[in-house]
Amino acid sequence: MCGIIGYNGFRDANKVLIDGLKRLEYRGYDSSGISVIDKKQQIFKEVGEIKELEKNLPDFKGSIGVSHTRWSTHGAVTKANAHPHLSTNKKIAVVHNGIIENFQKLRENLTKKGYKFLSNTDSEVLAHLIEDNYKGNLQKAIFNALKKVEGYYAIVVTSTDEPDKIVGARKDSPLVVGVGDNENFLASDITAFLKYTNRVIYLEDKELCVITKKDITIYDENYKTVDKEINLIDWDISDAEKSGFAHFMLKEIYDQPDTVNNVLRGRVSEVDQYIEFAEKVEKELKPDLDSIHIIACGTSFYSGLVAKYMIEKIADIPVSVELSSEYRYFGTKKENSLVIAITQSGETLDTLAALKEAKNSGCQTLAITNVIGSTVTRLADAYILTQSGPEIGVAATKTFTSQIIILFLVALKLAIKKGTITSDELYNYILNVKELPKQIRQVLEKSDEIEKIAETLKHAHSVFFIGRGINYPIALEGALKLKEISYIHAEGFAAGELKHGPFALLTKETPVIAIATKDFTYDKILANIGEVKARGPQVIAIADETDTEIEKHADFVLRYPTNQTILTSIPITVTLQLLAYHVANLRGCSIDKPRNLAKSVTVE
């Protein structure tokens, strides 16, 4: 949580920093601040969204500075607790993302030494601690100060004593260097500086980086300088902008025909009958795996549940799916099993911690992520990129469908290696997966129709989503999307479970969204719809376009294009994403930045 950016170059720092903060706002948006050096630290903070900071920001002169957008962990949402924090002598400015676990002890010691604290945050100790260690060299002071710190951090620091440099350091929180011409950047995320450069250096844990206008120097954990590779990013700045859509979430829903094509590009061929990943990934996908354990949080967890159905059905390998926060402490870590971590951001702390546990127990590990260079890509033995471009809306959409398709390809690959699939089956699966971009477009064309149904939901207090088999996790995801952005209480259930308790909550004021697929569960779901209707609620069915029966059972029907059941989860998901979006929009909610949430959860 929290977004940080530092700039050192020839442009107006105010402008670059505000622009960068707006692109990082999805990481936190309760307060923000900026400091720009012009002989002294010129500092300004505001509570609320970045637009409040921008509106009131004084016209600071200078081309070197740091800024921060906050998602509070320690200390209330106040100007004093917003970053940057200044050292007692007002020369050093620090922005921080992470948690300093021993901050109380450090604060007591620094207070005894006469340092003056102005906030209740853990982060402020860093500013005073760096001042306490300062002997004429900022990076050395930071290096020594960080030796005393327990917890995790990405920090970016300036000092008026050395006004030509910015220093950054990271441990378990993301920080990347943007390499420009006569200007350089440090930020939580590439999107913050993508407008100016697509050349990036990824910092490892405990590395420290000094940027001047022209030079970049990186130190390892022993304070030895290291050479690092500059990576070229093929994301376009338009990917990180709304391109005329009212919200990032809507744009990202509409990106999906392209993102699905990107996932498939170069990885599948029905003619040559192959599924291809990088060599390192292929090595992890062994045919004799005893089991697969998937770990993830939130929406990524639901794509893991979808994958369980796919891998068990196609490749006949048992799969368990666990929440990272649980697996981390309680999960079984077995030999000859593969642990797959799914994380859009590649920075979710619980998932990283669970993955470390798995590695330490000797498991082989594979990550599925959207962010090249993210921590998970360096932690796992191998990784697969979802190649969806930046996802800015807090609600995950395009990365969810990409994760599912990657996992579908993993299932096919394992099935080929194990010999559990015939070549005809493989041919058909690949043909059908390639149909998805077209089918998603067909769903997107129904947006107005979906909006009309959303009208019927906009005043609901509670909405149920039901599905069977692979559509059970899709129901869970549909409910998560709705609750996350519209603030309507929503729950997803395996349809057969309703009568084991949740029925008690059903009244005619509780609309039920029922996912009906034309497979062997169809009659069962019709029976479930009947049970629901008998208790009064309205039922909205999400049904196959060829289904001639469903109208007799449901009050409203939204149709999805026919495909194999295992793949219909994609068009059904897009339907539910649009439904959640329209309900939230009709209710006037803050769709891209829902209250109390942040895009990437880098705290436990």
The only residue of 395, 410, 443, 539 in contact with ligand M6R, by rule CB under 6 A: 395
Residue closer to ligand M6R (CB basis): 133 or 345 = 345
Residues 258-297 that bind ligand M6R (CB under 6 A): 297
Instruction: Give yes or no: 398 in active site.
Output: no
Nearest distance from residue 547's CB to ligand M6R, in Å?
Answer: 29
Nearer to ligand M6R, 31 or 602 (CB): 602
Determine which residue in the list 65, 98, 298, 390 makes contact with ligand M6R, applying CB under 6 A: 298
The contact mask relative to ligand M6R for 141-170 (x = CB under 6 A, - = no) is: ------------------------------
CA distance 255 to 259: 6
Query: Sign of the C-alpha dihedral, residues 444, 448, 450, 454?
Result: positive
Catalytic residue among 22, 45, 308, 599: 599
Q: What is d(CA 467, CA 471) in angstroms, rounded to the nearest whole number?
A: 5
Tokens of 462: 């509670």
Q: How far apart are CA 125 and CA 229, in angstroms?
A: 33
10 Å Cβ neighbour count for 355?
Answer: 27
For residue 374, give the nearest of 180, 172, 192 by alpha carbon. 172
User: Is residue 601 involved in binding ligand M6R (CB under 6 A)?
Assistant: yes
Q: Is 2 a catalytic residue?
A: yes
Minimum CB distance to ligand M6R smaller for 253 or for 543: 253
CB of 399 to ligand M6R, least distance (A): 7
- Closer residue to ligand M6R (CB): 268 or 371: 371
Cβ closest to ligand M6R, residue 351 vs residue 510: 351
Q: What's the CA gap between 399 and 256, in Å, rounded?
A: 9
Smallest distance, ligand M6R to C-beta of residue 98, A: 16
- Taking the complex as a whole, the smallest distance from the CB of residue 148 to ligand M6R amounts, in Å, to 30
Report if residue 396 touches ligand M6R, rule: CB under 6 A: yes
- For residues 177 and 184, the answer to whether their CB atoms sit within 8 Å is yes
In the complex with ligand M6R, which residue's Cβ is closer, 367 or 421? 367
Q: Does 600 bind ligand M6R (CB under 6 A)?
A: yes
- In the chain, count of helices (H) and strands (E)? 18, 27
User: Which residues on adjacent β-strands are paired with residue 153?
Assistant: 98, 172
Q: In angstroms, what is the minimal distance from the CB of 343 to ligand M6R?
A: 3
Cβ–Cβ under 8 Å, residues 509 and 459: no
Strand ranges across the sheet with 92-100: 85-86, 92-100, 151-159, 166-171, 208-211, 216-219, 225-226
Residue 552 Cβ vs ligand M6R, minimum distance, rounded to whole Å: 34
Give the nearest distance from C-beta 508 to ligand M6R in angstroms.
29
Packing angle of the helix pair 398-418, 298-315 (nearest 10 deg): 20
Helices 124-133, 103-112: crossing angle, 10 deg rounding: 50
Give 551-555 contacts, CB < 8 A, sequence gap 24+: 553/526, 553/529, 554/514, 554/529
Query: What are the residues whose beta carbons fall under 8 Å from the beta carbon of 504, sequence distance 6 or more?
Result: none
Which window, 40-48, 380-388, 390-398, 437-445, contacts ligand M6R (CB under 6 A)?
390-398
What stretches of 71-150 adopt beta strand conformation (E)?
Answer: 85-86, 92-100
Q: Which is nearer to ligand M6R, 268 or 384 (CB)?
A: 384
Q: Which is closer to ligand M6R, CB of 34 or CB of 295?
A: 295
Total interface residues for ligand M6R by CB under 6 A: 16
Residue with smaller CB distance to ligand M6R, 196 or 301:
301
Q: How far apart are CA 289 and CA 256, in angstroms?
A: 32
At its nearest, how many Å lie between ligand M6R and the CB of residue 196?
25
User: In the 8-state DSSP scheme, what is residue 21?
Assistant: H
Three-state SS at 297: coil
Question: Which of 394, 415, 443, 578: binder of ligand M6R (CB under 6 A)?
Answer: 394
Pairing of the two strands 199-202 and 176-179: antiparallel
From 2, 297, 363, 589, active-site residue: 2
For the chain, give percent helix, strand, coil, nearest 5: 40, 25, 35
Q: How many CB atoms lie within 10 A of CB 215?
A: 11
Q: Which residue has the tokens 């369980």?
A: 308
Say whether residue 300 binds ligand M6R (CB under 6 A): yes
Residues 479-498 binding ligand M6R (CB under 6 A) are: 480, 484
Residues in 336-375 that interact with ligand M6R by CB under 6 A: 343-345, 348, 351
Question: Residue 168 Cβ, how far from ligand M6R at the closest point, in Å?
Answer: 22
Among the candidate windows 171-179, 244-252, 265-273, 298-306, which touches ligand M6R by CB under 6 A? Answer: 298-306
CB distance 268 to 276 below 8 Å: yes
Interface positions, 461-480, toward ligand M6R (CB under 6 A): 480
Interacting residues with ligand M6R (CB under 6 A): 297-300, 343-345, 348, 351, 394-396, 480, 484, 600-601
What are the residue numbers of the active site? 2, 599
